[in-house]
């Protein structure tokens, strides 16, 4: 009898193979007291282990350079940075000296403490970094114990890797030639293990809690990396359905690649502007410039988070200039600093808050720290002299905030004009629609701004009062909810009435099932992670704007999110089918 388990879809694709369970062999930590005369020896052991772990990571990095993108290779650079962080090392040496314990115990204590710091963060991206700390600790522990980690093999047969988690270092000790899929009991779609799986093209599921308790090694399984489903002991019907889907998916991927540079227009000729979301200039090297109309969301805070102190105006201007040079005559939309709450800076302490996601963050910090805001705006304006830049304000709650920002921008523009500093005198100022309240006062907002960008991740979360990363209520989080659809409809209509452009920059922009709905609602600018661009372009090119409007009219009459999603999914699947048949 087949068993179906649900998890988080971490990497797309379908895998059909036996499941093989793997367990870490680094769980035992030797514990012993250390005399004062032994402290130098234990400290030296720790230093040697860090050096050995560094060499191991460097070797794996070099091995994977030709298999994954340059961006994913930086995962290992981040691990190396942690290993060579003086604070990390000194914290462990301090435990050895003060508690008089062996290096293994000190390592475990410090790693546990660092893990907890990340796990307590609200932002899912930052929480997932706890796994990286764990992985680094595991590698140093292996070096301390002079123990070779077991290589994960399946006797030369195709297999699906199943374990508590998949960490970046695991990529070096699995039989990648026969690895068909990955399923883990913990983790999520934003862990570095999941990112590596996507880069390597390996379907993956995460947070399948029962996978290690209910499925034995050797059990045949089907892994669906799109729906988040794992089927153990599938029946003949399951095999038939998924073998057909797997073949269709492979053909679709090939055909999608072929059309990626064709014009981005609907079947009846309406232009759709597709833009990319990036976390910094390093992401630009992974984007085919001809595939996009520009950068719809440049998250400036990540450059701040990677530093040990606030970047200077010159440093910021240089970074922004590189992005503008890459874009040429295309737009680059710089979102101003969105820190606080779920994105802390190690060098900028914010007060503890009971609900930091609703607390002192984003634009609220920028307005309370005007020097910080002033410096960033000046840096963007200096860079804007070389191309087309836009300024986007995050977490806007009130019209008064927008007026203050407009005043700051006008003041800086006046100063730069007086001093003769080159800049774009017509630079555009936009607001992110993330707080539902702002969507209901757009008639007051639109006269102040030049464009809008809808951050649907937070907007949906706040509108539905659902933490999308809480597994107990995650099913209630749905951008297909009728209330979400109606609010998006309202935003698009009001922006059109004022003649102001409006884009979508949340996850639904990259959801090809949602594409017909967004086009039908009137959105013509979609900004997304680059990996989703080709499929969204294919959907947009294969459906007419008129058909999209018909779908939205039907969806707006529906009362259930599930029914709306089914409507959208059936339309997208019809498009795939017709496309594959060459119609």
Residue tagged active-site, from 388, 405, 481, 505: 505
DSSP H or E segment with residue 179:
strand 179-184
- CA 284-79-528 angle, to 5 degrees, is 30
DSSP H or E segment with residue 180:
strand 179-184
How many Å apart are CA 255 and CA 580, to the nearest integer?
Answer: 8
The strand pairing partners of 162, in sequence order, are: 21, 183
3-state secondary structure of 287: coil
How many Å apart are CA 135 and CA 129, to the nearest integer?
Answer: 10
Q: What is the dihedral of CA 298, 301, 305, 311, to 10 degrees?
A: 100
How many Å apart are CA 302 and CA 287, to the nearest integer?
Answer: 18
How many Å apart are CA 405 and CA 409, to the nearest integer?
Answer: 6
Is 505 a catalytic site residue? yes
How many Å apart are CA 485 and CA 554, to the nearest integer?
Answer: 12
Phi-psi sector, 72: left (phi>0), alpha (psi -120 to 50), beta: alpha
Is 405 a catalytic site residue? no
Residue tagged active-site, from 180, 192, 388, 423: 192
Q: Is 529 exposed, middle or buried (0-12, 13-18, 19+ CB in 10 A)?
A: middle
Cβ pair 22, 92 in contact under 8 A: no
Q: Which residues, in sequence order, are CB contacts of 38 under 8 Å at separation 6+? A: none
DSSP string across 505-517:
-SGGGG-TTTHHH
How many Å apart are CA 293 and CA 296, to the nearest integer?
Answer: 9
Closest among 363, 374, 375, 306 to 339, alpha carbons compared: 363
Residues belonging to the active site: 192, 505
């Amino acid at each position: 009898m087949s068993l179906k388990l649900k998890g988080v879809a971490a990497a797309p694709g379908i895998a059909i193979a036996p499941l093989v369970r793997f367990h870490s062999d680094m769980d035992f930590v030797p514990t012993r007291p250390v005399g004062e005369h032994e402290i130098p020896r234990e400290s030296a052991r720790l230093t040697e282990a860090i050096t050995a772990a560094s060499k191991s990571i460097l070797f794996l990095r070099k091995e994977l350079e030709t298999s994954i993108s340059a961006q994913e290779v930086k995962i290992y650079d981040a691990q190396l940075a942690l290993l060579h962080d003086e604070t990390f090392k000194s914290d462990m040496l301090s435990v050895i000296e003060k508690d008089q314990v062996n290096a293994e115990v000190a390592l475990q204590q410090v790693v546990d403490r660092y893990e907890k710091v990340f796990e307590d963060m609200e932002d899912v991206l930052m929480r997932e970094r706890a796994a990286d700390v764990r992985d680094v600790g595991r590698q140093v522990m292996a070096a301390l114990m002079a123990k070779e980690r077991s290589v994960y093999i399946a006797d030369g047969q195709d297999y699906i890797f199943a374990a508590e988690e998949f960490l970046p270092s695991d990529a070096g000790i699995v039989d990648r030639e026969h690895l068909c899929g990955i399923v883990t009991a913990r983790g999520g779609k934003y862990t570095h293990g999941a990112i590596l799986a996507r880069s390597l093209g390996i379907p993956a599921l995460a947070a399948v809690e029962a996978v290690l308790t209910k499925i034995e090694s050797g059990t045949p399984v089907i892994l669906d990396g799109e729906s988040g489903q794992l089927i153990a002991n599938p029946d003949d019907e399951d095999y038939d359905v998924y073998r057909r889907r797997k073949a269709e998916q492979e053909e679709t991927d090939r055909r999608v690649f072929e059309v990626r540079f064709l014009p981005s227009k609907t079947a009846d000729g309406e232009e759709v502007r597709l833009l990319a979301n990036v976390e910094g200039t390093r992401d630009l090297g992974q984007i085919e410039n001809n595939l996009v109309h520009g950068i719809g969301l440049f998250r400036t805070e990540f450059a701040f988070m990677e530093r040990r102190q606030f970047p200077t105006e010159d440093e910021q201007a240089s970074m922004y200039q590189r992005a503008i040079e890459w874009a040429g005559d295309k737009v680059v939309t710089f979102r101003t600093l969105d820190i606080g709450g779920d994105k802390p800076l190690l060098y900028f302490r914010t007060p503890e808050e009971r609900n930091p996601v609703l607390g002192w963050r984003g634009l609220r910090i920028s307005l309370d720290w005007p020097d910080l805001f002033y410096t960033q705006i000046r840096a963007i304006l200096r860079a804007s002299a070389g191309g087309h830049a836009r300024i986007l304000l995050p977490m806007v709650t009130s019209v008064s905030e927008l007026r203050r920002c407009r005043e700051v921008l006008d003041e800086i523009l006046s100063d730069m004009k007086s001093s003769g500093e080159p800049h774009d005198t017509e630079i555009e100022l936009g607001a992110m629609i993330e707080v539902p309240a702002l969507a209901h006062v757009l008639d007051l907002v639109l006269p102040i701004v030049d464009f809008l960008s809808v951050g649907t991740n937070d907007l949906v979360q706040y509108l539905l009062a659902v933490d999308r990363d809480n597994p107990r209520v995650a099913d209630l989080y749905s951008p297909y909810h009728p209330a979400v659809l109606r609010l998006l409809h309202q935003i698009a209509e009001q922006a059109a009435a004022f003649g102001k452009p409006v884009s979508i920059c949340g996850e639904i922009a990259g959801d090809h099932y949602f594409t017909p709905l967004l086009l039908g609602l009137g959105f013509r600018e979609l900004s997304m992670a680059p990996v989703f661009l080709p499929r969204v372009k294919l959907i947009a090119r294969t459906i007419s704007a008129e058909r999209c409007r018909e779908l939205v009219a039907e969806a707006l009459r529906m009362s259930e999110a599930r029914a709306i999603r089914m409507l959208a999914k059936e339309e997208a699947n019809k498009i795939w089918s017709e496309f594959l048949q060459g119609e």
